[in-house]
Structure 1
Amino acid sequence: MKITRTYITLPLLVLLFLFSKQIYSQSVLFPQNYFRPPVDFDITLSGNFAELRNNHFHSGIDIRTFTTGKKIYAVADGFVSRIRIASGGYGKAIYIDHPNGYTSVYGHLDHFNTEIEEFVKSYQYQNNSFEFDLKMQKDEMIVKKGTVIAASGNTGSSAGPHLHFEIRDTESEHPLNPLFFGFKIKDTTPPKIFNFYAYPLDSSSNVNGSNHRQNFPVTFYNNAYHLKGDPQLKLLGNIGFALETNDYMDNTWGKCGIFDLKMKINDTLITNYSFQEFSFDETTYINSHMDYELNVTQNKRIHKTFKEPNNQLSIYSTIKNNGIFQFKKNGKYKIDFFVSDANLNKSSLRVYASGNELEKLFPTDAYDMVLDGRKKNSLTKEGLEIEFPENSFYSNINFTYSCEKKENYLSNIHSIHNENIPVHNYYTIAIKPNHFPEGKSDKLFIARINKNGNIINEGGIYFDSFVKTKSRYFGKFAVSIDTIPPTIKALTNFNLQSLRGQKSIRFKISDRLTGIKSYEGFIDGQWVLFEYDAKNDLLFYVFDKKRLTPNKKHQLELKVTDKVQNQKIFSSPFNW
Structure 2
Amino acid sequence: MKLSTTNIITCLFFLLNSVSFTTFSQDAKFPQNYFRAPVDFTMTLSGNFAELRNNHFHSGIDIRTFTTGKKVYSIADGFVSRIKIAAGGYGKAIYINHPNGYTSVYAHLDHFNPEIEKFIKAHQYKKNSFEFDLELKKDQIQIKKGNIIAYSGNTGSSAGPHLHFEIRDTKSEHPLNPLLFGFRIKDTTPPKIFNLYIYPLDSISSVNGHNTRQQFSVTYYNNAYHLKGDPKVRLLGQIGFALETNDYMDNTWGKCGIFELKMNINDSLQTNYKFKEFSFDKSRFINSHMDYALNITKKKRIHKTFKDPNNQLSIYSKMNNNGVYSFKSEKSYKIDFIISDAKNNISKLRVYAKGATSIKAFPQEKFTKLLNWETENIYENSGIQIKFPKNSFYTDLKFNYSVKKDSNFYSDIYSIQNENVPVHTYYTLSIKPRTIPNHKSEKLLIVRVNKDKSLSYEGGIYFDGSMKTKTRYFGDFTIAIDTVPPTIKARTNFALNSLKGQKSIRFSIDDELSGIKSYKGLIDEKWVLFEYDEKNKLLFYTFDKKRLISGRKHKLQLIVTDKIGNKSNFKEEFIW
TM, length-normalised to structure 2 = 0.96
Q: Is the partner of 1:564 in helix, strand or coil?
A: coil
Q: Is the partner of 1:423 in helix, strand or coil?
A: coil
Q: Is the partner of 1:321 in helix, strand or coil?
A: helix
Residue 36 of structure 2 corresponds to: 36
Residue 415 of structure 1 corresponds to: 415
Give the partner amino acid of 2:217: P
1:224-264: CA deviation from partner (whole Å, max 9, x where unpaired): 00000001000000000000000000001110000000000
Q: Is the partner of 1:473 in helix, strand or coil?
A: coil
Residue 568 of structure 2 corresponds to: 568
Residue 344 of structure 1 corresponds to: 344
Residue 387 of structure 2 corresponds to: 387
Counterparts in 2 of 1:129-208, with a 5 A limit?
Answer: 129-208=129-208
Residue 111 of structure 2 corresponds to: 111
CA shift for structure 1 position 25: 7.1
Counterparts in 2 of 1:41-120, with a 5 A limit?
Answer: 41-120=41-120
Provide the C-alpha distance between the structure 1 equivalents of 2:526 and 2:182, rounded to a whole number of angstroms.
Answer: 50
The alignment yields a C-alpha RMSD, in angstroms, of: 1.4
Provide the C-alpha distance between the structure 2 equivalents of 1:322 and 1:145, rounded to a whole number of angstroms.
Answer: 45
Q: Does the 8 A contact of 2:497 with 2:573 survive in 1?
A: no
Structure 2: which 5+ residue stretches go unaligned? 1-16
Structure 1, 500-509 or 46-55: larger mean CA deviation: 500-509
Residue 356 of structure 1 corresponds to: 356
Give the partner amino acid of 2:260: D
Provide the C-alpha distance between the structure 2 equivalents of 1:392 and 1:179, rounded to a whole number of angstroms.
Answer: 34
Residue 334 of structure 1 corresponds to: 334
1:68-90: CA deviation from partner (whole Å, max 9, x where unpaired): 00000000000000000000000
CA shift for structure 1 position 404: 1.2
Structure 1 residues 150, 27: closer, same or farther in 2, change over 3 A?
A: closer
Provide the C-alpha distance between the structure 2 equivalents of 1:463 and 1:25, rounded to a whole number of angstroms.
Answer: 58
Provide the C-alpha distance between the structure 2 equivalents of 1:173 and 1:25, rounded to a whole number of angstroms.
Answer: 21
CA shift for structure 1 position 439: 2.8
1:346-385: CA deviation from partner (whole Å, max 9, x where unpaired): 0000000001112110111010111001110011111101
1:326-351: CA deviation from partner (whole Å, max 9, x where unpaired): 10111100000000000000000000
Q: Is the partner of 1:495 in helix, strand or coil?
A: helix
Q: Is the partner of 1:115 in helix, strand or coil?
A: helix
Give the partner amino acid of 2:34: Y
Matched, 1:223 2:206: no
Structure 1, 533-542 or 451-460: larger mean CA deviation: 451-460
Residue 3 of structure 2 corresponds to: none
1:17-54: CA deviation from partner (whole Å, max 9, x where unpaired): 9xxxxxx9784111111110000000000000000000
Residue 5 of structure 1 corresponds to: none
Provide the C-alpha distance between the structure 1 equivalents of 2:495 and 2:474, rounded to a whole number of angstroms.
Answer: 50
Counterparts in 2 of 1:269-308, with a 5 A limit?
Answer: 269-308=269-308
1:424-467: CA deviation from partner (whole Å, max 9, x where unpaired): 00000011100121231111110011222111101001101111
1:181-204: CA deviation from partner (whole Å, max 9, x where unpaired): 110000000000000000000000
Give the partner amino acid of 1:457: Y
Residue 211 of structure 1 corresponds to: 211
Q: Is the partner of 2:424 in helix, strand or coil?
A: strand
Residue 489 of structure 1 corresponds to: 489
Provide the C-alpha distance between the structure 2 equivalents of 1:144 and 1:151, rounded to a whole number of angstroms.
Answer: 16
Provide the C-alpha distance between the structure 2 equivalents of 1:470 and 1:492, rounded to a whole number of angstroms.
Answer: 39
1:406-432: CA deviation from partner (whole Å, max 9, x where unpaired): 011100111001110000000000111
Residue 257 of structure 1 corresponds to: 257
Structure 1 residues 25, 496: closer, same or farther in 2, change over 3 A?
A: farther
Provide the C-alpha distance between the structure 1 equivalents of 2:298 and 2:374, rounded to a whole number of angstroms.
Answer: 29
Matched, 1:125 2:125: yes
Counterparts in 2 of 1:538-557, with a 5 A limit?
Answer: 538-557=538-557
Give the partner amino acid of 1:138: K
Q: Does the 8 A contact of 2:90 with 2:157 survive in 1?
A: yes
Provide the C-alpha distance between the structure 2 equivalents of 1:386 and 1:545, rounded to a whole number of angstroms.
Answer: 55
Q: Is the partner of 1:281 in helix, strand or coil?
A: helix
Structure 1 residues 408, 553: closer, same or farther in 2, change over 3 A?
A: same
Residue 373 of structure 2 corresponds to: 373
Structure 1 residues 135, 27: closer, same or farther in 2, change over 3 A?
A: closer
Matched, 1:516 2:516: yes
Residue 6 of structure 2 corresponds to: none
Q: Is the partner of 1:425 in helix, strand or coil?
A: coil
Give the partner amino acid of 1:326: S
Give the partner amino acid of 2:85: I
Report the structure number with the largest CA radius of gyration.
2
Provide the C-alpha distance between the structure 2 equivalents of 1:148 and 1:26, rounded to a whole number of angstroms.
Answer: 31
Q: Is the partner of 2:146 in helix, strand or coil?
A: coil
CA shift for structure 1 position 400: 0.7
Residue 6 of structure 1 corresponds to: none
TM, length-normalised to structure 1 = 0.96
Structure 1 runs of 4+ with >6 Å offset = none
Provide the C-alpha distance between the structure 1 equivalents of 2:360 and 2:491, rounded to a whole number of angstroms.
Answer: 66
Q: Is the partner of 1:116 in helix, strand or coil?
A: helix
Aligned residues: 558
Structure 1: which 5+ residue stretches go unaligned? 1-9, 18-23
Residue 469 of structure 1 corresponds to: 469
Provide the C-alpha distance between the structure 2 equivalents of 1:271 and 1:399, rounded to a whole number of angstroms.
Answer: 30
Q: Is the partner of 1:138 in helix, strand or coil?
A: coil
Structure 1, 431-440 or 337-346: larger mean CA deviation: 431-440
Give the partner amino acid of 1:433: P
Q: Is the partner of 1:282 in helix, strand or coil?
A: helix
Residue 21 of structure 1 corresponds to: none
Provide the C-alpha distance between the structure 1 equivalents of 2:520 and 2:181, rounded to a whole number of angstroms.
Answer: 43
Give the partner amino acid of 1:573: E
Provide the C-alpha distance between the structure 1 equivalents of 2:506 and 2:316, rounded to a whole number of angstroms.
Answer: 49
1:114-160: CA deviation from partner (whole Å, max 9, x where unpaired): 00001101100110100000011111110100000000000000000
CA shift for structure 1 position 501: 1.3
Give the partner amino acid of 1:254: G
Residue 14 of structure 2 corresponds to: none
